Chain A
Amino acid sequence: MATLGLMLFSIAFVYSASASIAEYRFGDYDKLFINHTIRVMIGLLALIFFMKIDYHVWMRYSKPIMFAALIPLVLVFLISSPINGAYRWIYIGPVNFQPSELAKFALVIHFAALLTQRQEVIKDFKLGLLPLLIWSFIVCLLIALQPNFSSAMVIFIISIAMMFVGNANGKHLSVIGIIAFIGLVGYAVSAAYRMQRIINYVGMASGSSDISDAAFQSQQAIIAFGSGGIFGLGPGQSRQSLLFLPEAYGDFIFSIIGEEYGFIGTVLIIIVFIIMAWRGIKIARNAPDNFGYFLAFGIIFTFILYAFVSAAVNTGLLPTTGLPMPFVSYGGTAIIFYCVAMGILLNISSHSVKGNNTNQKFT
């Protein structure tokens, strides 16, 4: 239910956030809105469809799915032209999609499968953890090369979290974490724009108020939140979406919600995500088997982590990155992938063994 509500909200949010940009770019107020609505409809159908599929199928096909997800991740460098200098999108006719969205969930499924299969040897680094790490490394590297550093990092965090929940050795994970951190610093310093963003982030934290070019987005997002106040300016009254926030309908939708619906709106969104997290945790807990347990955790964690990072970026708690808010942003194909994942989660839920598993056993 929470999911459905969020999606319907999303339509309204995207409409008000996108109208001005759509008019400016396409001369049509409704263009982005209609696109989004269509995608939400497709997403709902997908959700219902995948809800009906027994999630154990995914365990069996996790490896092919993983490979299938890697193909577009490689293809993106070969067949698409970069947008803003990054190879993030693949266009198939009128449909464009981000391979990283698919790869993200493929990795979650595959991790759930691997963790289940190698549960006995998971404490052993070579036998248990290494295959997982390799997969994670391949996916993250390909995404980082696009370059989409933030997604790579978030996916890496998801990997670590899944390993952690999958009973991996704490010491191993700590070492991996330290190595990853060192690599991360090196990667960040290697590209000027990332450095700039981090400098801006640090600068902003120390209270500098000048609006330089690079800090423009985060500054504008913060202005959006601030000017919304407690109650907001009202639906559709956003002024920041009048082109001040370049991606008001996408990665920065949370700040537009903050402007239009105020503190009440933003806290409501956060509460909805917390409820979703709560429901997800329960689904995982009641999953009939390890695969369901890991998969449910992976999916719900992905959701909540993305939501958190997106919100944190919007509010300036984290450096500016381009991450959409699940179900809320105008995210193109992302919303369909999220729906699919949600469908899988609901299927796990339908197998749930509440309190004891006697019910399940007799069905």
Chain B
Amino acid sequence: MSSKTKNTNNNNDGQVLSREYFWRIIFVFSVLFVGFLALIARLVVLQIVDTNKYKSIARSQHESRVNLRPERGDILDRNGKLLASTIKSISFAIDPSILKDSSEIERICDRISIITGQDNEKLLSKVYNSKGSFVWLARGILPYEAQGLDSIRSKGFIKIYEPKRVYLYGSLASQVIGCTDIDNNGLTGLELSLDSLLKGHSGSTIMLRNAAGRLVPTISTTTSEAMNGKSVKLTIDIELQRIAEHELKLGVEKSGSEAGSLVILDPATGEILAMASFPTFDPNNIMEILPGAMKNRAISDVYEPGSTFKLITAAAALEENVITPDEWVDGCNGVLKFPDYEIKDDHPLGKVRFSEAIEKSSNIVFSSVANNIPSNKFYKYIRDFGFGLEYNLELHGEESGKIKPASQFDAVSKRFMGFGYGIMVTPLQMVNAYAVIANFGEMMKPYVISNIYNSNKDIISTTKPIKIRRVLSEGTSKALINLLVGVVDRGTGIAAKIEGLRIAGKTGTAQQVSSGSYSKANYTASFAGILPADNPKFVMMIVLDKPQGNIYGGSTAAPIFRNISKSWITVNHDFLNEKHKIDNTIDTNRFITIPNLKGMSAALAVKLLTNLGIKCNNTAKVEIVGNQQPKHGSLVRAGSEVLLLSSAKPLSITQESLLNEIGGLNIKNALTILQSKNISVRVEGSGLVQNIYLSKTGEILNCRLICK
């Protein structure tokens, strides 16, 4: 073992090399061992000391945050009709750094310009002059409009699916609802003031990404769900709004006014049933908006009210026993002279009872009555009726108006305030002042949002009517209503009269200040009305700005009240009767008219039919109702069944059959049906489908929807 033996060649039999040299092996491995120690040291640094640094680097290269876009909430009217909703749209862009083939670019731009009506040359120069790698061509194109573009699959031609806001009633209530910009951010109206609510929260999920850039789904990563926006249900009744806007427009045009506004309130609750401003705009097309059209005049126009303000003078005087309705007052035969000013009446009165003075809207009488009310009392009533303050509606742009402090009340200012000068108000303040007497002396807070729903359509909040204060006694209120009934029956408001109905109202005609003095050219004509006077269902305020020719509220604004009221009563037969609840428990002797379910989601159809007391058969498992049996309009016994069918195949689409199918539907539902039939569509107008024109180019059916 220890002996040193030097072997001879080829002797491998039991001859062992001297282990003297074994240290060489130990030496070699010691070097390696030191290497391994260095290796472990390195691992300690990498895996223990600096691990957090590398973990974050790893995270940044593996994990890709994918934004989950929330759906913007819907806006519904008080009956659940969809006013604003979101649909899928496609946006197109080009990456000029990738797509360089000019013939291809021209082909795309040509298509885009046909679809959007943009100038082809401008589009092309936009693309060619861009040094960047992203040029928008068109945004928010609805899928059915984008035909011919889906088939283009050039590299560098970018298609992005984006949600697009649609307003199903077009310009109706547009100043209230508002509109969004192209990125679905609220711009005006409720879309702006409720933006964060409607928008929801975008969520995100972490996906693993491999080096090839592909996303690899993973289970163990953190996902924050997108919180879809909340939907809001308004107090607005879109059908009443439709009538109101129609009549307002006619009234404005007839009187030659520059603008007009209108508010309808439910006095018992403060719900705003309709709120309109003219001129108006279509939020679906915000590129073409007239100046001032976005202004919600009903809350942001301040004006001197003139005679409609006499209500407040009368209320204060009656409540404070300054006067009684039957007291004799002096009309001074139309002119009341003071050393440095005079007050005139258009309809001179002599000695009359107070009730007649209000019917004839005597400025002189009201200036005298106002003068007899103690300043602090008069101020208190003005304040109690809500003037000089905002109601803090959910809408932006509400003005507070302007009233003098009680300390500045003097004989002159009181006399003029008595018939509505020297004070600035908004139509909303005025209508709510009239709502006070319609609600027997109690002021309610006006509001426009009744319910908020989460994305599962569960109610998450309900606005309860809020009583602000009692302004007047019930007796005084009733007395005032009776006085105002006289105004409509016999006085200046006779144009608002509807035979067989007791209507309370008050006209107003006010000179506007222009360049420092009251003008004989610019007037504000207004009318406030309560319907019906004994059991008020709504209170309406109409204000016309600068009517031409006939400037009186009684002849310009009062007829608008009358027309709206008449139409509304005609539509709602039970409006004037006590509301009776419809018993939906199945009474098989009852006959029910089948509604049109086409275009509705099956879930909605089921709900609707169940409410009506009809069974629903969806054995065909349709998602969107394409057809139904029996047809809509047919009478069936309660408890019978409606069969939901998918849409008929487009084997024999005729203009007539198509109109039968989609006539009267709103655009969204109509589009759903037409898309399912692969019919390309162009929409004209907004609202409900009135008529269609069918044409054929090659294999493709084109349909022009005429909507109103």
Contacts and interface: CB of A to CB of B under 8 A. Distances in A.
Interface string A215-226: 000000011111
A223 B57 contact: yes
Given A226-B46, A315-B46, A120 B8 contact: yes
A120 B208 contact: no
A167 B210 contact: no
A277 interface: yes
Interface stretch (B47-55, B353-361, B454-462): B47-55
A321 interface: no
A263 B24 contact: no
Contacts of B27: 164
Contacts of B59: 227
Contacts of B28: 161, 164-165, 301
A231 to B, nearest CB: 10
- Identify the interface centre among B29, B33, B35, B50: most chain A CB within 10 Å of its CB: B29
Contacts of A120: 6-9
A357 interface: yes
A361 B14 contact: yes
B569 interface: no
Given A116-B12, A267-B40, A270-B39, A244 B216 contact: no
A164 B1 CA distance: 21
Contacts of A223: 54, 57-58, 61
B25 interface: yes
Interface in A240-289: 240, 242-244, 258, 262-263, 266-267, 270, 273-274, 277, 281, 284-285, 287-289
Nearest to B56: A227
Interface stretch (B15-23, B171-179, B230-238): B15-23
B651 interface: no
B32 interface: yes
Contact of B43 (A258, A285, A291): A258
- Identify the interface centre among A223, A285, A316: most chain B CB within 10 Å of its CB: A223
Contacts of B40: 267, 270
A225 B54 contact: yes
A228 B32 CA distance: 25
Contacts of B48: 229-230, 263
A31 interface: no
A119 interface: yes
Given A116-B12, A165-B24, A262 B47 contact: yes
A290 B9 contact: no
Contacts of A262: 47
B603 interface: no
A119 B17 contact: yes
Contact of A290 (B12, B47, B58): B12
B286 interface: no
Given A225-B54, A263-B48, A59 B6 contact: no
22 contacts: A167-B21, A167-B24, A225-B54, A226-B51, A226-B54, A227-B55, A230-B48, A230-B51, A239-B208, A244-B62, A262-B47, A263-B43, A263-B48, A277-B33, A281-B26, A285-B19, A285-B25, A288-B16, A289-B17, A293-B17, A304-B32, A308-B39
Interface of A: 20, 24, 56, 59, 116-120, 161, 164-165, 167, 222-230, 239-240, 242-244, 258, 262-263, 266-267, 270, 273-274, 277, 281, 284-285, 287-291, 293, 297, 301, 304-305, 308, 311-312, 315-317, 353, 356-357, 360-361
